Structure 1
Amino acid sequence: MERRSSSLKMDGPDGPRDIEDRLAHVLPQNPKPWYLTPHLLKLNLCIGVVFLSATTMGFDSSMMNGLQGLDTWMSYFDNPSGTWLGLLNAVMFLGGVILAFPAAWLSDTIGRRYTIMIGIVILTLGAAIQGASQNIATFIVSRFIVGLGVEIAIVPAPVLITEIAYPTHRAKVTGLFQTCFYIGSIASSWITFGTFTLGSTWSWRIPSIMQAFFPLVQLVGILFVPESPRWLVSKNKLEEARAFLVTYHAGGDSSHPLVDHEMELITAHIQSETEIAGMGWSVLWNTAADKKRLAIAGFAAVISQWSGNGIITYYLALVLDTVGIKDSFTKTLINGILQIFNFFAAIIGSFCIDRLGRRTLYLISCTGMLVTFTIFTVLSAVYLEGTNSESVGRTVIAFIFIFFFFYDIGVTPLTFAYPTEILPFHARQKGIAFTNLCNTIALTFNTFVNPIALEAIAWKYYLVYLALLVFITITVYLFFAETKGLSLEEISEVFDGPAIAAGWYRRRHTTDEEGDSHSERHNDTDDADKEIVEHCEKAQG
């Protein structure tokens, strides 16, 4: 009998290069695109429902940016600036700091879907209170409640997407998750642009209430979203996990080899982690490989917030003030156009993940941001140090868009996609909670400190982010491994090394095709172990 190849085609220090042979061998030969294939269309529509967690976060982000450009909002709350403005923005993320790890525990305990539902309900309550706020204290409390709901809804979302995605779609859909942040940004920025002419408190109450729109749509849609097969296997619900794979990955064909392949892969990997499953949070740092994964998961969040984008994302109105653009119409218009631009740039990046690879895309993104943010800083300094040239001001705005192009093609799609891929199952939800926690802490710093620093030293504050961009680019170059082309289970091999890889691979090969003799299976398994050890040693340099 001809033995299926189990090699992973790794070459060089960056790790895997191509889709694993055995997966390619068992994939259905379907010439139709996914949107003409009923079971894949249904699956991707379900994933689209989960995307709404990111959309909701995007709505809030751009909404607060837009509200700062509304004279009615500023005057109603006595023109907050400095510390007060920072608190109004940062208080939402304090809820995230509190609930990041409890949300992960909840997701691992009751499932990804039900955790998202709980977050939606809390978020909707906060939006209602915000829309009805009569004073700054109520507004701050409502922002805190919104933050609690957002955190609970967003922690399990990228994990659920990654764990239910069709194998060859995983990189694209996980990249599109954070890209959908901009759908919310577009909606809120243009709603704010449309309401600024009302001239009453409804100009900011309407956007506040509209925060509940996407969560309510998601609450209905999540009822039709399947649970993660990996979570089901971890709870010993093997039949339900297999039923998911049959329905959504094999189009109802229970005998399709893809179903057996994925069940073997998932079950073997989760069984190999049985001993560490009871270790609690220490599973994140038990080995050197675990520590590296955890560091990368946290650093991905640092990149997403401390690469200079934090100044512009939440304080675009203040940045525009520094280059002479002060009227509400122009500020809200630029904000709206920027969000549309961001969305399409991020889509381009999402579809480049498999083509270019994760590490390469990160390096292109970070290098581009470093160059453009340097030019942005120089132009801002020239404008503020005496020229006040209108042409310089317009050029600053142009470089804001160029900067975000580089941010969107790499950082936006990979912020959750990359950590979710590199974390093994029993550490995945906890690790993503850590990513969210780091993201929230960085956001809290941005939203509280940035307005104070901008008010005090203006463009000179940009130099801090230039230094951070240099550090970020070097770190990505030195420590980020390539994961292009591997299943979630096989990515562990790049980090854990030959011993772990051979162990779970051996479990997987003990249930080879019927009719093989015991000696054939044993020899094949030994060969597979030997191959995987060699490949892992190469991948680790």
Structure 2
Amino acid sequence: MSQFKEHFSKTGSLSATIQGLIVSTVLITASVASIISGPLSDRISRTRTISLGGIVYAAGSAISCSSNTLAQLFVGRAVAGAGEGLFLSAITVYAVEIAPTSARGRLGSMVQLLNTIGIASGYFICYGTVHIPSSLSWRFPFGMQAVVSVVLAIGAPMLPHSPRWLIHVGRHAEAQIAWAKLGVVSADAHKTNENLRRDDAAKSNWWQEAKQLWKSGIRLRTALGVFLMGMQQASGIDGVLYYAPVLFSQAGLSETTASFIASGISGIIIVVCTCFVQFYADKWGRRSSMVRGGAVIGTAMILIGTIYASHASDKPAGRWAIVVLIYVFVVGYATSWAIVTRIICSEIQPMRTRAAATSLGQCANWVVNWTVAFTTPLFLARSASGPYFLFGSCSLLTTVVCLAFQPETRGASLEDVDKAFAELPWRILVAFGSKKTLIMTPAQRTTC
């Protein structure tokens, strides 16, 4: 916004470094706070951690809203990031834990749907306020963030506690009441309670809980979850969302209003796609969604990079091809990685390490998110094609990792996911190949 630039810069423009810092400051503190979120939610509950995060985020948004200097704006963004780091991990764990097995994917996609509605709303709110000639144009969006955060902080404690958390802390009678409030049938609740009692570990301090993440049988799941959460951002999605106006302007839509409209359309597409996935989240496999989605978004990014590198973007057809491919990327991401990555990171862990592992994965997500947010404008200033080749390569690498190391967990209860990790996909493929070789005749082996 020109009003924002004029308020914080005497020259009326902000350097790529300042722009990247303004966007990414929130992510630095979020990554630190997300590490604390898991152990904290194990102690004070998921809902109270969400509420605490909402209070902190509201305070940060209020500071940003009242900013008169860049220093104050950075402080506000940093405080808001700490709040976001607290509540986002707790929300993910809470949503996974309260869902019955048959609806876990659908409930997880509902959380993502609300996120995307917020993103799309942000685009159009900014599009509406950009025409206000005063600083209200950029203060109003920050003020709205503060109001919404207060609503979250007040509403979260009114939700029932996670029954799995209640059992984990020994409050079994309250867990039964919570299951009833959530509408989970008694048979499913009883089975879950029994499995959780077998899985429950002795109370330990934070350091002991952290070491649990890297014990035999758990370390691969932790590494996989952290890798997937990091690569979700390395796909370039936040480079597209944060800097959509810049990307569309680079592709030929130079007017501010056209750029904001194009960004808003991206947000609407994400909302529509997420609504569509609601009906299939528990029918499509987690592994197949990661593999198909990775292939689509990786290929789209590589093609965009190729268009820029070959200078085909100098022609109108090339520029519009880039716009179309960005939308292909957005659709591919919204129907796959956006939905299942956080669900996978949380559901593959046993109860005793779920919150801590989800927090660690979210921390990796924030760190990569910050790197992308800070470096994207600098990278684009030096190379139009480089960022797209990098994002595409990361997505395709993740696809290969999912093929080799990610078992299918759709339809398995949270307490039965151990069975899915008993034999990894790459070992199954190797065993199948060895078996096929053994049953071949000598003549067939000679031919091979």
Contact 2:104/2:282 (8 A) holds in 1: no
Task: Provide the residue aligned with 2:376 in structure 1.
Answer: 450
Contact 1:304/1:411 (8 A) holds in 2: yes
State percent identity of aligned pairs.
22
Inter-partner Cα distance in structure 1 for 2:325 and 2:312? 20
1:320 maps onto 2:248 in alignment: yes
Inter-partner Cα distance in structure 1 for 2:363 and 2:43? 19
Per-residue deviation, 1:136: 1.1
Per-residue deviation, 1:265: 2.6
1:428 maps onto 2:347 in alignment: no
Per-residue deviation, 1:415: 2.0
Contact 1:99/1:151 (8 A) holds in 2: yes
Question: Which of the numbers 111, 118, 129 marks the counterpart of 1:177?
Answer: 111
- Structure 1: runs of 5 or more not aligned: 1-69, 498-536
Task: Provide the residue aligned with 1:45 in structure 2.
Answer: none
Per-residue deviation, 1:267: 2.2
Inter-partner Cα distance in structure 1 for 2:33 and 2:99? 26
Inter-partner Cα distance in structure 1 for 2:313 and 2:198? 66
Task: Provide the residue aligned with 1:371 in structure 2.
Answer: 299
How is 1:405-484 mapped onto 2 (pairs within 5 angstroms)?
405-484=331-410
CA separation of 1:458 and 1:107: change in aligned 2, threshold 3 A: same
Contact 2:229/2:345 (8 A) holds in 1: no
Task: Provide the residue aligned with 1:280 in structure 2.
Answer: 209
Inter-partner Cα distance in structure 1 for 2:290 and 2:65? 39
Task: Provide the residue aligned with 1:163 in structure 2.
Answer: 97
Contact 1:350/1:413 (8 A) holds in 2: no
Contact 1:277/1:283 (8 A) holds in 2: no
How is 1:47-446 mapped onto 2 (pairs within 5 angstroms)?
70-78=1-9, 79-250=13-184, 256-270=186-200, 273-274=201-202, 279-287=208-216, 289-382=217-310, 385=311, 388-446=314-372
Task: Provide the residue aligned with 1:17 in structure 2.
Answer: none
CA separation of 1:267 and 1:177: change in aligned 2, threshold 3 A: same
Per-residue deviation, 1:275: 8.5
CA separation of 1:387 and 1:308: change in aligned 2, threshold 3 A: closer
1:106-156: CA deviation from partner (whole Å, max 9, x where unpaired): 111111111111111111011111111111111111110110111111121
Per-residue deviation, 1:425: 0.5
Per-residue deviation, 1:539: 11
1:73-98: CA deviation from partner (whole Å, max 9, x where unpaired): 23322222222111111111111122
1:57-80: CA deviation from partner (whole Å, max 9, x where unpaired): xxxxxxxxxxxxx22223322222
Per-residue deviation, 1:538: 7.9
CA separation of 1:355 and 1:257: change in aligned 2, threshold 3 A: closer
1:284-331: CA deviation from partner (whole Å, max 9, x where unpaired): 0011x3111011111121221111323212112221232232221111
1:486 maps onto 2:412 in alignment: yes
Inter-partner Cα distance in structure 2 for 1:156 and 1:387? 43
Contact 2:123/2:263 (8 A) holds in 1: yes
Per-residue deviation, 1:400: 0.8
The residue identity in structure 1 corresponding to 2:8 is F
Inter-partner Cα distance in structure 2 for 1:379 and 1:386? 5
TM-score, with length taken from structure 1: 0.74
The residue identity in structure 2 corresponding to 1:325 is L
Per-residue deviation, 1:343: 1.3
Inter-partner Cα distance in structure 1 for 2:336 and 2:184? 31
Task: Provide the residue aligned with 2:438 in structure 1.
Answer: none
Contact 1:353/1:361 (8 A) holds in 2: no
How large is the Cα RMSD of the aligned pairs? 2.2
Contact 1:277/1:426 (8 A) holds in 2: no
Contact 1:81/1:451 (8 A) holds in 2: no
- Structure 2: runs of 5 or more not aligned: 432-448
Per-residue deviation, 1:487: 0.5
Contact 1:166/1:249 (8 A) holds in 2: no
SS of corresponding position for 1:156: helix
1:401-456: CA deviation from partner (whole Å, max 9, x where unpaired): 11111111110001211111101101100000111110011011111111111111
Contact 2:101/2:412 (8 A) holds in 1: no
Per-residue deviation, 1:341: 0.4
Decide which moves more: 483-492 or 470-479. 470-479
The residue identity in structure 1 corresponding to 2:221 is R
1:244-272: CA deviation from partner (whole Å, max 9, x where unpaired): 22333357xxxx434433322332332xx
The residue identity in structure 2 corresponding to 1:74 is K
Inter-partner Cα distance in structure 2 for 1:277 and 1:421? 23
